[in-house]
């Protein structure tokens, strides 16, 4: 049985300025997006369409806004609506913590729709570009959760070699679910999605693979993650994270079916748009 090291959440102090590990993980995720995005420019159809590095930087700017605004509003609406209805000003108290991946995803979808419209590019083509570049950032975010000793797992059998005691969660050994999510939603999803996206695909198929892959891996990982204390398990014994992931799986299946059945003539017109 292991003990969580209780890392100092502050990575660096410069006078009154404190740089937190979690913030560094966000920054590393944004850098990874730019590097992977520039690599992805060599994939079809983006190479033939003449996409440029500045497009990656523009998408990052709008994507960051989508992640922050969507992630915060998603947490407010999905996880603590009663609290924020009673005290609306706390929506802006970001220092208290509280971000939702599913809200951030919705924010990114809207931000990319705005950017695609401005650039007169098909929205799904843009999302197909973005999708394989995202899981590395998700993996880094889970490392940040682990360093902070937050979002720990459910109680685990003491004989489990990697069962870990998180002091803030009490004396029981638990699953290090942050590392499970790092491996599933981050590393595994990235490898599979990147390999899949390297070859030319119909518009929407890469986005569908991301929705299906993330939704499925998050659904599985939630069985090992401690539900939010103020919510607990919901209908059918599922957590909020699982209920929010089910629509992603269904949307991925529907989008993949639509993309596969789309006539080739429409596909070519869409790629040139």
Instruction: List pLDDT tens digits, range 240-262.
Output: 999 999 999 999 999 999 999 88
Burial level of 67, CB count in 10 A (0-12/13-18/19+)? buried
Confidence (pLDDT) at 66: 93
174, 153 contact by CB (below 8 A): yes
**How many folded domains does the chain comprise?**
1
CA-wise closest residue to 3 among 152, 142, 181, 184: 152
Non-local (6+) Cβ contacts of 152 within 8 A are 4, 164, 166, 168, 169, 174, 175, 176, 177, 178, 225, 226
Distances, alpha carbon 213 to alpha carbons 19, 67, 180, 233, 245, in Å = 33, 19, 15, 23, 10
Q: Which residues pair with 18 in a beta bridge?
A: 13
CA-wise closest residue to 45 among 221, 226, 206, 159: 206
Domain holding 227, by residue range, is 2-271
pTM of the model as a whole: 0.90
Residues in the annotated binding site: 142
Q: Which residues of the chain register pLDDT less than 50?
A: none
Confidence (pLDDT) at 273: 56
CB hemisphere CA count around 211 (13 angstroms): 24
């Amino acid at each position: 049985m292991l003990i969580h090291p209780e890392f100092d959440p502050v990575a660096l102090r410069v006078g009154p300025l404190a740089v937190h590990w979690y913030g560094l993980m966000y920054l590393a995720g944004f850098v990874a997006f730019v590097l992977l995005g520039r690599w992805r420019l060599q994939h079809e159809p983006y190479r033939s369409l003449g996409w440029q590095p500045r497009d990656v930087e523009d998408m990052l700017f709008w994507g960051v806004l989508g992640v922050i605004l969507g992630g915060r509003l998603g947490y407010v609406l999905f996880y603590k609506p009663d609290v924020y209805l009673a005290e609306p000003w706390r929506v802006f108290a970001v220092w208290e913590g509280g971000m939702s991946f599913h809200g951030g995803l919705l924010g990114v979808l809207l931000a990319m729709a705005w950017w695609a419209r401005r650039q007169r590019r098909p929205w799904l083509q843009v999302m197909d570009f973005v999708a394989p570049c995202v899981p590395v950032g998700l993996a880094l975010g889970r490392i940040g959760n682990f360093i902070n000793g937050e979002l720990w797992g459910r109680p685990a059998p003491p004989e489990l070699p990697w069962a870990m005691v998180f002091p803030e969660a009490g004396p029981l050994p638990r699953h290090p679910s942050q590392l499970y999510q790092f491996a599933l939603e981050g590393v595994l999803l990235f490898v599979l999605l990147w390999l899949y996206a390297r070859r030319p695909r119909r518009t929407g198929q890469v986005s569908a693979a991301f929705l299906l892959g993330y939704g499925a891996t998050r659904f599985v990982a939630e069985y090992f993650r401690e539900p939010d204390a103020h919510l607990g398990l919901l209908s059918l014994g599922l957590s909020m994270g699982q209920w929010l992931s089910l629509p992603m799986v269904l949307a991925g299946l529907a989008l993949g079916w639509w993309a596969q059945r789309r006539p080739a003539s429409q596909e070519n017109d869409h790629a040139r748009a």
